[in-house]
Amino acid sequence: MTAINYARQDIIQEDIDAVVEVLKSDMLTQGPMVPKFEDSVSKYAGVNHAVATNSATSALHIACLALDIKKDDVVWTSAITFVASANCALYCGAKVDFVDIDPSTYNMCTSKLEEKLENAKKNNCLPKVVIPVHLCGQSCDMHSIFELSKKYGFKIIEDASHAIGGRYKDQPIGSCKYSDITIFSFHPVKIITSGEGGMAVTKSRDIYKKLSLYRSHGITGIKEDMIETPQNETWNYQQLRLGFNYRMTDIHAALGISQMNRIDEFVTKRHHIAARYDDELSSLNMKIPLQNDFNYSAFHLYVIRADLKKLNKTHNEIYKSICEKSVHVNLHYIPVYRQPYFQNLGFEIGYCPESEKYFQEALSIPMYPSMTDDQQDKVISVLKDVLS
Ligand SMILES: *Cc1c(COP(=O)(O)O)cnc(C)c1O
């Protein structure tokens, strides 16, 4: 049996045909497919506007810019996330800080957030933007975070890179009911893929226009948005801000559109796999992931926490013995502030105690919609072997 990875894409002939179609057409980029993909995702998420980008990292960057993040502003995110959730603030010259996680969901802890906000208020260093991350595909407690945003005056970007297809209190993740902008990733390990790709969605027309400008050099081709020049010229484009080339191509968008046809199927399959893991693994020396009643996770990841005391082994020993048996588990994530780059910014090891504990025990086990029963049997038997 070949090795089983923690995640992989699910590509069928229909997806391939959709991409080949674009390759035979006149437009490879900025054709009809990008706006069609944007429509498909915004309708699915129940939100008005969407801006597709070449990655979620780019989408996070322009989301910060659209919310006016500048030098010396402060942005907070969760300590347990991919580095991109923090780097987007640094790209804008802002300062970044981290909120510890809730020990049961591993998402940003709302009461720790509140405590930290109260302290920041006293010290006059409140964040301008907070970026909650829906880790593993399960939404953060957005209603509470939204209430705090009104009290302390910050804006919210949801990093839903793991979470398209999930729901929070009967709203699809991405509805932006409790946020200004939501970000999705279409990297191949995520819920659906466009190869590389990302999207920023928002209810606000004003934010949408800014996102569109920053995605494409800061240039507009829309007459009403242009500024009158001394020469009173009528050329067809104007650069209004300093933007980037973060555009998605039609080739990528065609794959994304095709994948959207199966998004619910993908998430349902992930739930089946999760339910079977719950049944088979709960008696081992480890914790299965807790799901809140008000959430329907997209289940990007299935994270277990090993009981190191009972197993009398180190995290690394467990990780190695599982991988040696051709089951490629992973760790999502090392607390961001522990990365050498962030250590150089002055963060200390131990900064967020719950995140440290999580980091000592967590393993992402294989979870992807095309996983066969045989593959899952193999994962279960290896885990029973190593974690009993
Ligand atoms: C994958 C991921 C990103 C970045 O996505 P890309 O599309 O690869 O740029 C950002 N945040 C989180 C939480 C992610 O998992």
Give distance in angstroms: CA of 161 to centre of ligand 1.
5
Helix (H, G, I), strand (E, B) or coil at 106: coil
Q: What is the pLDDT of residue 228?
A: 83
What distance in Å separates the CA atoms of residue 135 and residue 44, rounded to the nearest whole number? 20
Q: What is the pLDDT of residue 234?
A: 72
Residue 190 alpha carbon, nearest atom of ligand 1: 1
How many CB atoms lie under 10 A from the CB of residue 91? 17
Q: What is the pLDDT of residue 230?
A: 75
Q: In Å, what is the CA distance from 28 to each residue of 41, 183, 247?
A: 20, 24, 12
Residue identifier of the C-alpha nearest atom 10 of ligand 1: 84
Q: Which residues of the chain have pLDDT under 70?
A: 1
Question: What mean pLDDT is reported for the chain?
Answer: 97
What distance in Å separates the CA atoms of residue 5 and residue 115, rounded to the nearest whole number? 39
Global pTM? 0.97
For residue 333, cis peptide bond before it (omega within 30 degrees of 0):
yes
What burial class does residue 266 get, using C-beta atoms within 10 Å of its C-beta: 0-12 exposed, 13-18 middle, 19+ buried?
buried
Residue 133 alpha carbon, nearest atom of ligand 1: 13
Q: Per residue in 92-108, pLDDT tens?
A: 999 999 999 999 999 99
Give distance in angstroms: CA of 190 to centre of ligand 1.
9
Give distance in angstroms: CA of 84 to centre of ligand 1.
6
What distance in Å separates the CA atoms of residue 218 and residue 241, rounded to the nearest whole number? 5
Which residues have C-beta atoms less than 6 Å from ligand 1?
55-57, 81-82, 84-85, 133, 159, 161-162, 185, 187, 198
Q: What is the pLDDT of residue 2?
A: 85
The residue behind tokens 């995640």 is 7
> Structure tokens of 332?
């999502």
Mutate to test the pocket of ligand 1, among 185, 303, 332 (most ligand atoms within 8 A of CB): 185
Structural element, H or E, at residue 305: strand 302-306
> Structure tokens of 382?
């290896």
- At residue 350's C-alpha, the angle toward residues 348 and 355, to 5°, is 120
φ and ψ of 202, to 5 deg: -155, 155
> Structure tokens of 56?
């979620």
> Structure tokens of 289?
């992931």
Q: What is the pLDDT of residue 233?
A: 72
Mutate to test the pocket of ligand 1, among 6, 55, 82, 131 (most ligand atoms within 8 A of CB): 82
Q: What is the pLDDT of residue 1?
A: 61
Q: How many residues does the chain have?
A: 388
What distance in Å separates the CA atoms of residue 126 and residue 135, rounded to the nearest whole number? 24
